Amino acid sequence: MTTADIHKSTGGVWKDARERWVRTGGVELCVAELGDAELGDAERPTVLLVHGYPDSKEVWTEVAERLADQFHVVLYDVRGHGRSTAPRPLRGGFTLEKLTDDFLAVVDAVSPDRPVHVVGHDWGSVQSWEFVTVTRTEGRIASFTSMSGPSLDHFGHWIKKRMTRPTPRKVGQLLGQGAKSWYVYMLHTPVLPELAWRGPLGKRWPKILERVEKVPSGDYPTSSLPQDAAHGAWLYRDNVRARLRRPRADAYAHAPVQLITPSGDIFLSERLYDELELWAPQLIRRTLPAKHWVPRTRPDQLAAWIGDFVTANEDGLPAKNSVATGKHADRFGGQLVLVTGAGSGIGRATAFAFAEAGARVVAVDRDAESAARTAEMSRLIGAPAAWGETVDVTDEQAMEKLAEKVATEYGVVDVLVNNAGIGLSGSFLDTSAEDWKKVLDVNLWGVIHGCRLFGKQMAERGQGGHIVNTASAAAYQPSKVLPAYSTSKAAVLMLSECLRAELADQGIGVSAICPGLVNTNITATSRFVGVDAEEEKRRQKRTSRIYGLRNYPPEKVADAVLRAVVKNQAVVPVTPEARGAHLMSRFTPKALRAIARLEPPL
């Protein structure tokens, strides 16, 4: 049934891609293979990338290039798309059964003896769910990575479940997804969608993608877009109604599944995958703060997750065991997180929390031993890699060197936590210029250096990220005994909010954390100006004692940091007193100013 002729590349997007045509069921599919042929395709795992609607295989360029060093990467234009031919007639030519035929034909041609790792986006994922749940493909699929495309059968059951037992929440979920699926109804209209795609919509689509989805312009979409989109409408018409009305009851995945959910997808609700474990027993979840077209906007992260998942399943390890189990592991697994002041207190607890979530951690502290210790312990609790770096955040050149080293050796930082800080207490008139300089150097300039150097790398990469700055409840709570400290922290808070506005367009979030009284050693190392050394020691002891009695653990602040990143929160007061003061600063600032005049019991 299948014949394949190998051609030299006829000038697709990739220079070193080998193209061939696979004939099946009356159509010819354009198949491209990447990867060093000399290394031998047969020896390396085959990763098959299936594109969605209205795309062609070129949607994968960025991801494919990143995977090609390690794997035998295969892509094909789905029938009627790109350079593949369309079935005739179109109606009835795009059923999932026929798409499965195509898939098997391609797999037989590119990897006859070994199961392949399937990766699907959008409609590519919808059809791959069919591949991975029907019996005739059993043994041909080693793993499946799904993004932004549910199984129509699972979707059908999802709707049924919510229709038969409606609760307010379930009805809300139904209506929510119903609204997001507006385009599906549109595509069921005859002729009009085709006219629109071949006419104005097709022309404007690249600009729309750039504006709405922040898809960087480049080699995508290709010139075949109007044609692809017009043909692809039949994907919906041939399958959606039939499957949603009568979903298969046996749609169980026979291969391990990795589900990547972009949290900002305007077409698909995250709730769709609520009970996916029932259908896919070996499921790993990943969450990405991005919109629908992740293969274009987040290629680095996708390539890393796909690579890890493929490798884990090739090695015969149950992939589930290789994934960290901490909170938010779906979101931070494999990401690179840099924490300053990671040698103790909140910084160390934050590094540990990220490590538990499976992130790679760079623990920065001016004390080499404690930075190394944080890195070592991070590895023990789930970080696939962790490094300790010794840097004084006030040292601009050292920070520049660090940024360069991190970028070349570990990669671009996904999450930056500017946490390093020092305490200083004493009245304004007792605070010398030297003291001011010291506090501002660490608390403000340290943050500025971090944001400037690592934020720039994030922005240049253009694949999102997040910056967390540790401010303090003192940032909005004036006090007569903390003028310098509060000023530095207020500056950090404002800096964070300004930066948040600036970087929002690039998918980089900025959060300011305002912990409040937390039991760390900042009190033991705080300077108290205007008193002699003995009195300073006494006050350090006394504040440490008060903070100890308050006993709010830094681990809870770390949890708040991770939550702030996941939810992209702007300002996060953590302890109850920090939250109370935050409320007061907004609604009763006068009362807060009155409190500021009180002498604290030191």
Cβ proximity to another protein: between 128 and 419 the closer is: 419
Cβ proximity to another protein: between 421 and 464 the closer is: 421
Q: How far is the CB of 357 from another protein (least distance, A)?
A: 12
The correct pick among 4, 377, 546, 602 for binding another protein (CB under 8 A) is 377
The correct pick among 356, 365, 389, 414 for binding another protein (CB under 8 A) is 356
Closest Cα partner for 416 from 474, 503, 477?
A: 503
The rounded distance, in Å, linking the Cα atoms of 137 and 400 is 52
Cβ proximity to another protein: between 65 and 367 the closer is: 367
The correct pick among 140, 286, 373, 449 for binding another protein (CB under 8 A) is 373
Helix (H) or strand (E) holding 214: none
Select from 285-293, 376-384, 425-433, 526-534 the region that touches another protein (CB under 8 A).
376-384
Which contacts qualify for 523-528: CB closer than 8 Å, 24 or more apart? 523/423, 523/547, 525/422, 525/423, 526/422, 526/423, 526/424, 526/425, 527/422, 527/423, 527/424, 527/425, 527/426, 527/435, 527/438, 528/424, 528/425, 528/426
Cβ proximity to another protein: between 348 and 527 the closer is: 348
Cβ proximity to another protein: between 17 and 355 the closer is: 355
Cβ proximity to another protein: between 348 and 449 the closer is: 348
Cβ proximity to another protein: between 245 and 537 the closer is: 537
Interface with another protein, residue 322, by CB under 8 A: no
What does 178-207 look like in DSSP terms, one character per residue? HHHTHHHHHHTSSSHHHHHHHTHHHHHHHH
Q: Build a one-symbol-per-residue string for 482-511: x at contacts with another protein by CB under 8 A, - elsewhere.
A: ------------------------------
Q: How far is the CB of 324 from another protein (least distance, A)?
A: 12
The correct pick among 297, 374, 394, 463 for binding another protein (CB under 8 A) is 374
Q: What angle do CA 381, 383, 386 make, to 5 degrees?
A: 115
Q: Is-contact 447 425, C-beta < 8 A?
A: no
| 545: Cβ contacts below 8 Å, ≥ 6 apart | none
The rounded distance, in Å, linking the Cα atoms of 450 and 510 is 12
| 397: Cβ contacts below 8 Å, ≥ 6 apart | none
Interface with another protein, residue 352, by CB under 8 A: yes
Size of residue set near another protein by CB under 8 A? 13
Q: Is-contact 508 290, C-beta < 8 A?
A: no
Catalytic choice (53, 273, 476, 485): 485
The correct pick among 370, 394, 472, 543 for binding another protein (CB under 8 A) is 370
Cβ proximity to another protein: between 317 and 583 the closer is: 317
Sign of the CA dihedral with 458 first, then 459, 463, and 468 last: positive
Closest Cα partner for 49 from 294, 414, 411?
A: 294
Q: How far is the CB of 387 from another protein (least distance, A)?
A: 16
The correct pick among 457, 506, 521, 568 for binding another protein (CB under 8 A) is 521
Select from 22-30, 41-49, 366-374, 481-489 the region that touches another protein (CB under 8 A).
366-374
Select from 194-202, 219-227, 368-376, 492-500 the region that touches another protein (CB under 8 A).
368-376
Q: Is 76 among the catalytic positions?
A: no
Select from 61-69, 101-109, 257-265, 375-383 the region that touches another protein (CB under 8 A).
375-383
Place of tokens 């979530």: 357
| 245: Cβ contacts below 8 Å, ≥ 6 apart | 156
Other beta carbons within 10 angstroms of residue 210's beta carbon come to: 12
The correct pick among 104, 184, 381, 398 for binding another protein (CB under 8 A) is 381
Beta-bridge partner residues of 538: none
Map the footprint of another protein across residues 525-554, applying CB under 8 A. Answer: 553
Q: Build a one-symbol-per-residue string for 554-573: x at contacts with another protein by CB under 8 A, - elsewhere.
A: -x------------------
Interface with another protein, residue 390, by CB under 8 A: no
Between strands 27-34 and 72-76, the pairing is antiparallel
Q: Is-contact 493 512, C-beta < 8 A?
A: yes
Select from 17-25, 305-313, 369-377, 451-459 the region that touches another protein (CB under 8 A).
369-377
Closest Cα partner for 503 from 569, 444, 456?
A: 456
Cβ proximity to another protein: between 238 and 356 the closer is: 356
The rounded distance, in Å, linking the Cα atoms of 387 and 83 is 47
Q: Is-contact 583 549, C-beta < 8 A?
A: no
Q: How far is the CB of 373 from another protein (least distance, A)?
A: 6
The residues annotated with a catalytic role in the active site are 485
Contact positions vs another protein (CB under 8 A): 344, 348, 352, 356, 370, 373-374, 377, 380-381, 521, 553, 555
